[in-house]
Each structure stands twice: as structure tokens, then as C-alpha cells.
Amino acid sequence: MFSRSRSNLALWFTLTMGSILVGFASVLYYQEVLDSLRNLDQLLDKKSRVMAVNAKYDTLKQQLDLENVPLLGSNVSPVDSELVYARWYDTQKQMVQFFGATPPLGLTTTLGFHTIKPEYHQVRGTFRDAWLRELTLPIYQDDLLIGYLQVATPLTYTQNDLAHLRLVLLLTVPATLLIIGLAGWWLGGLAMQPIRESYDQLQRFTADASHELRSPLSAINSNAQYGLISNNPSVQRQRFENIVDVAKSMSTLINNLLLLARHAGRLTAESLQPVDLKSELLKIADQYTKLEIAQHINLTYKLPNNSLIVLGDADLLHQAVVNLLTNACKYTKAGGQVQLNLFAQSSWAVIEVIDTGMGIPEADLPHIFERFYRVDKKRARSSGGYGLGLSIVQQIVSAHGGYIRVKSVIDKGSTFKIILPL
Ligand code: ADP
């Protein structure tokens, strides 16, 4: 699934970037064609005007010398040898003089610029097969039309330049497309990475949750069946009590799962309220001293004189501290100590839960915040732990923009610190 999405991403990226590239190359090429033609036209126009001035001078000379006889032949020297031909027509559009290829006797083409491919026999020599750019313009002297001039220059150089540009584009565009494709594949992989990670995490979470739910369900099933086949009321009662216990633990598990699912990511601004940590912790400590779970240990607390206010969700923060305290009590032997501290450190509020319990092996420390992670699978299950308590704490703390830290020494105890921005 992921490699198909990655290929699709790469394909769409290549297609999008490729179309932009091809469009850009086409515009570039079209602009180059227009520019080359404009330059050629300007050059042709300039040359023809210089020739027109010479032609006017010749006509004037002929009129003064009364030699008003039209001359046919190639005795008009062109301004530039790049001209394929130059033709001079009189006002009746009849040929007067020409240079280069033999022209038709009358002027047939319209005025202005034209791109033409002359007949094979019309142009000889180097430019025999070439396309030509032809300019025909009227010549005036003192506002009086005195004739027409027609000149043509080959398009060979322009065509060669354009062919060269086409070749460059033909080689570079596919090469760039290939690079874009590879970049798309790489970017696709990069984009898929976090999705893949969260998908894997979700898969693992679903698998773990189903696994954890399967054991209490089969316990309920076996207890119910045993109760049904037994005629002894006290056995039946015992079975029902077992079912109630397992159902309670299942409900805790489901509540925890829902809590994890509901509060992923940072809290919204609306759910943030000023929370007085001192009075919250006072409440928790008060409740805890009365709870059965804490009866075997000595719970003490050290709170600041002033209240410490953080922005957050009071219920969630309550839940986080309760989870830490529950663990501290759960993993500390009778007669042990659990201490709950609150103090401010620069702009942070620190909640400390210190116990003198069994401690956590160093190798397990990096994993204890993972969902369903239990240091000792058997012990934790027997004491009702699903390995979700600490991941809930961590999720709540990071939803408040805070951190959680742990220090632990085997058989000496553990210290959990919740650090929240004040
Ligand atoms: P559980 O529901 O199993 O307690 P947690 O996520 O709260 O799950 O804790 C994960 C594991 O970390 C526990 O299984 C336990 O082994 C270990 N742990 C957590 N807190 C303590 C503690 N205060 N002392 C010793 N071990 C602890």
C-alpha cells in the first residue's frame, strides 16, 4: 500500500513538474523563434533601406543623364553578400534591375515580410534549398512613389540556431524529467515516512489492545460457563464475583484506551484553564491517604506556600498524578515511603513522585512510556496493570507542553518528575 502511494506521489509530482517544464521549454523556444525573426527582420529592413537610398541616387542620376532606360541584369551591387537577391521594380511593378536569382518580370507578392521557400530553379548556389525571409517595400522620393524594392536573406543561420536550441531542449528536458522523477520518488518516501510510522503504531496499538481484551473476555467466558454448569450457589457466586472483577478491569482498560485516543496531540486553547496545582495535589494526597492501595506505605507530601498556576485541563493533570502515585504505591513494598512534592523551578512547575520501591531496570527505562509495556509481564498483569498508565501520563504531559523525567535504581526506588510550563 505504501509503495503504491509512494509511486503515485512520484508519478504525480513528475507529471506536474514535467508539464511545467515542457510548457516552460515551449514558451522559451517560441520566444526564441520570435526574437530571431524580429532580429532578422530588423537587419533586413536596415539593409533594404540602405539599398533604397542607393537606388534613389541611381534613379536621380539616370533622370539627369536622360538615360531613362531600364537595365536588366545583375549590376546592382548588394549592400551585403548575405542577401540572396535584391530586386528593383518601377511604379508599374515591372522589373527594372536585379541582383541574384532571376526574378519574375512583374512584382506579384504583397508588401511586407514573408517567409518563403522558393522554387528550386529560382535560387541557385549555396542557398538553393534554403527558406528565405523576403521583404518587399515601396520607395518614395519627396512623397512620390518611385518604385519597389524586394530583398531576401536566407533563414539558414536562424534555422541552425533554432535547431541547436531544439537539440539542447530535447536532451535536457528528458534528463531533467528523469531527475524530477527520482526527486519525486525520494520526496514521496520522505512524505510517507511519518504516515507509515503512525500507521505502524496504530496497527501495533490495535493488535495490543485486542490482545489485552482477549484475556479478560476469555476469563469472563470460562467463569460464566463454570457458573452455569455448577449447581453449588457459593461456587456460582464466586464465579459471578470473578466476572464482575474482570469486567471492572476491562472497563478501566477501555477508559484508558479512550483517554489515549481522545487526547492525542496538544490541547486546544478552549480546554486550557488556570489550574492551581497546589490545591489539586492537596486534594489527591488527601484522597490517597484514605485509599486501600496506599495503606501499606507511608505517604508524605511537600507543597509550596504559594499556589502554582498552570494553564491546563484539571481532570487530565489529576489523572496523570494519580497514575504516578498508583504506580508508586503498587511497586513499593509495605512499610516503604512515597513522597509527593511540588515546587517551582524558574518558569516551570515540577511535580515529583518519589518512592522507595523495587525500581526499574536500566534497560527498561527507555520503554516504560510505550503503550502496553510492562517490565515484568506476569507481575504487572497480576496487579492489574496493562502497561498504559505511564503512556497516558506522558501523553497528558506533552499535551500541556511539558516533559516527564524518570530516575530509578533497582531495589532503591524511583523518581518521576512532571515538568509543566507555568
Ligand atoms: P502498569 O499498568 O503495568 O503499571 P505503566 O505504564 O504504569 O503500566 O508502567 C509500565 C511499567 O513500568 C510497569 O509495568 C512497571 O513495571 C514499571 N513501573 C512504573 N512505575 C513504576 C514504579 N514507580 N516503580 C517500579 N516500576 C514501575
pLDDT in tens, 106-146: 888 889 999 988 765 555 555 566 788 999 999 888 888 88
> Which has more pLDDT, 325 or 80?
325
Distance 326 CA to ligand 1 centre (A): 9
Amino acid residing at 68: N
Quote the CA–CA distance of 340 and 332 in Å, as a whole number: 14
Which residues form the pocket of ligand 1, taking CB atoms under 6 Å from any ligand atom? 327-328, 331, 355, 357-360, 368, 373-376, 380, 385-391, 414
Confidence category of residue 381, pLDDT binned at 50, 70, 90:
low
Q: What is the pLDDT of residue 61?
A: 55
Question: Considering Cα of 175, then 179, then 182, then 188, what sign does the dihedral take?
Answer: negative
Distance 198 CA to ligand 1 centre (A): 24
Task: Give mean pLDDT, residues 352-370.
Answer: 93
Task: Give mean pLDDT, residues 41-65.
Answer: 73
The atom number, within ligand 1, closest to the CA of 358 reads 25
The atom number, within ligand 1, closest to the CA of 386 reads 2
CA nearest neighbour of 172 among 388, 351, 25: 25
The atom number, within ligand 1, closest to the CA of 364 reads 12
Contact between residue 394 and residue 259 where contact means Cβ atoms under 8 Å apart: no
- Hey, whose CA ends up nearest to atom 25 of ligand 1? 359
Quick one: how far is CA 343 from the chain centroid?
43
Q: Which residues pair with 406 in a beta bridge?
A: 416
Task: Give mean pLDDT, residues 292-306.
Answer: 86
Q: What is the pLDDT of residue 102?
A: 74
Q: Which residues pair with 33 in a beta bridge?
A: none
Quote the CA–CA distance of 238 and 223 in Å, as a whole number: 9
Quote the CA–CA distance of 19 and 33 in Å, as a whole number: 21
Distance 320 CA to ligand 1 centre (A): 13
Q: What is the pLDDT of residue 202?
A: 81
Q: What is the pLDDT of residue 304?
A: 92
Q: Which residues pair with 302 in a beta bridge?
A: 341
Ligand 1 pocket test, candidate residues 390, 397, 410, 412, most atoms within 8 A of CB: 390
Confidence category of residue 64, pLDDT binned at 50, 70, 90:
very low
- Supply the pTM of this predicted model: 0.57
Q: Which residues pair with 39 in a beta bridge?
A: none
Distance 347 CA to ligand 1 centre (A): 29
Confidence category of residue 204, pLDDT binned at 50, 70, 90:
confident
Q: What is the pLDDT of residue 28?
A: 93
- Hey, whose CA ends up nearest to atom 21 of ligand 1? 327
